[in-house]
Amino acid sequence: MQFIDLGAQRARIEGRLNAAIDKVVREGRYILGPEVAAFEKQLADYVGVRNVVACANGTDALLLPLYAAGIGRGDAVFVPSFTFAATAEVVALAKAEPVFVDVDPDTYNIDIDSLEAAIAMVKAEGRLTPRAIIPVDLFGLAADYDAVAAIARREGLMVIEDAAQAIGGVRDGVKCGAFGDVASTSFYPAKPLGCYGDGGAMFTNDDALAERLRSFAFHGKGETQYDNVHVGINSRLDTIQAAILIEKLAILEDEMVDRDRIATRYAERLAGIVKTPKLPGGNRSAWAQYAIETPVRDGLKAQLQTKGIPSVIYYVKPLHLQVAYTSYPRAPEGLPVSEALPSRILCLPMHPYLSEADQDLICDTIGDYVGHNAAMAAE
């Protein structure tokens, strides 16, 4: 059994993928070929934003907006601690400071009270200037953008949506990638919309910001490629990857229906056995991960392994406790949820091609193991 079965997806569209790759190789426009612009346009239409700027990976897609906004030394950027390292890493790379905020125990997304407290703390200390918030749509579920936007407006902060795990997610009719001043995503192969290597993109309705993002992603170019008006980087999506993504985007909605069906079945079969994900009303998760919680996590993981069922712990440690990030500021009341989750959380196989038989085996194994442990504890 696969944790994420990319082979099944490839088999479904193999002919189209091979033809698309072959065309790029034959035509030879490997850098910024026509497929890149075509994919940007199709993705912008899908997400419902004016501009998509493709780049080399999801980390650059978070870093470039910081450069474009001039965020750097002396600035504070508020990030959840329970996320992948890139969310905070880019802030430090831009020479600003990540301020770690706790997450909500049910959605695993940035906790609004903790965010408010962290902003108030930074303002009271006066050492750093609050500049931006990077909410993460963790595991495919949109953060609470109504609350985040209200705070950002009040405090004059930029919002950068980290939608690396969330293309295909929807909140109140708005697709993930369309929140904030700018959004970022990753096309790492295992993401809901993934390519066959590294890739990323930024989304914005602000045309001037889109131009700045394009410039910073292309050595700070001005009127021409050889006119440098900013110190930028080289961050482009390869034409081959764009050609692959065009074919994968064409089946994404179809795949979302299957992900939803599989998530619903997990929720039904695991109810009352382990804690299953809660979706706030109006949301469709992209289900990049299906995370459960149980106090007998380690034993359960080992038991699943004996049945050939892969499972992964996302994340084993919150960022504020990682060696590289311990010296950065944290929300004043601590981050108890981010610190407790790593000992309880477990991500189960989740992809659109998971068979009912495999899902039954997973759910039966969990039911048996957790039931047996509960019986032992009661004795």
Give the binding range for ligand PLP (CB under 6 A) out of 80-88, 173-181, 262-270, 336-344. Answer: 80-88
Query: 322 in helix, strand or coil?
Result: coil
Minimum CB separation from ligand PLP for residue 49, in Å? 18
Q: Which is nearer to ligand PLP, 86 or 252 (CB)?
A: 86
Spatial CA neighbour of 8 closest among 243, 198, 248, 187? 248
Instruction: Give the separation between CA 274 and CA 297, rounded to whole angstroms.
Output: 10
Per CB under 6 A, 237 contacts ligand PLP: no
Binders of ligand PLP among 155-194, rule CB under 6 A?
Answer: 162, 164-165, 186, 188
Per CB under 6 A, 289 contacts ligand PLP: no
3-state helix/strand/coil string of 70-120: CCCCCEEEEEECCCCCHHHHHHHHCCCEEEEECECCCCCCECHHHHHHHHH
Number of residue whose CB is nearest ligand PLP = 58
Minimum CB separation from ligand PLP for residue 220, in Å? 21
Instruction: Give the separation between CA 63 and CA 58, rounded to whole angstroms.
Output: 9
Per CB under 6 A, 65 contacts ligand PLP: no
Q: Which is nearer to ligand PLP, 162 or 181 (CB)?
A: 162
Q: Which is nearer to ligand PLP, 183 or 262 (CB)?
A: 183
Q: Which is nearer to ligand PLP, 85 or 250 (CB)?
A: 85
Q: Which is nearer to ligand PLP, 138 or 263 (CB)?
A: 138
Q: Quick one: DSSP state of residue 350?
A: -
Choosing from 168, 200, 318, 349, the residue that interacts with ligand PLP (CB under 6 A) is 200
From residue 322, alpha-carbon distances to 5, 8, 83, 86 in Å are: 30, 36, 12, 13
Which residues touch 115 (CB under 8 Å, ≥6 apart)? 78, 101, 133, 148, 151, 331
Minimum CB separation from ligand PLP for residue 86, in Å? 4
Minimum CB separation from ligand PLP for residue 88, in Å? 10
Q: Which is nearer to ligand PLP, 55 or 331 (CB)?
A: 55
Which residues touch 254 (CB under 8 Å, ≥6 apart)? 352
From residue 51, alpha-carbon distances to 41, 120, 143, 167, 207 in Å are: 8, 33, 21, 15, 7
Q: Which is nearer to ligand PLP, 83 or 239 (CB)?
A: 83
Minimum CB separation from ligand PLP for residue 230, in Å? 21
**Checking DSSP bridges between strand 170-171 and strand 174-175, what pairing results, if any?**
antiparallel
Q: Which is nearer to ligand PLP, 289 or 294 (CB)?
A: 289
Query: 195 in helix, strand or coil?
Result: coil
Q: Quick one: DSSP state of residue 349?
A: P
Per CB under 6 A, 87 contacts ligand PLP: yes
CB 215 within 8 A of CB 222: yes
Which residue shows structure tokens 């199709």?
Answer: 42
Per CB under 6 A, 136 contacts ligand PLP: yes
Q: Please count the residues of this chain forming the interface with ligand PLP, following the rule CB under 6 A.
A: 15
Binding-site ranges for ligand PLP (CB under 6 A): 57-59, 83-84, 86-87, 136, 162, 164-165, 186, 188, 198, 200
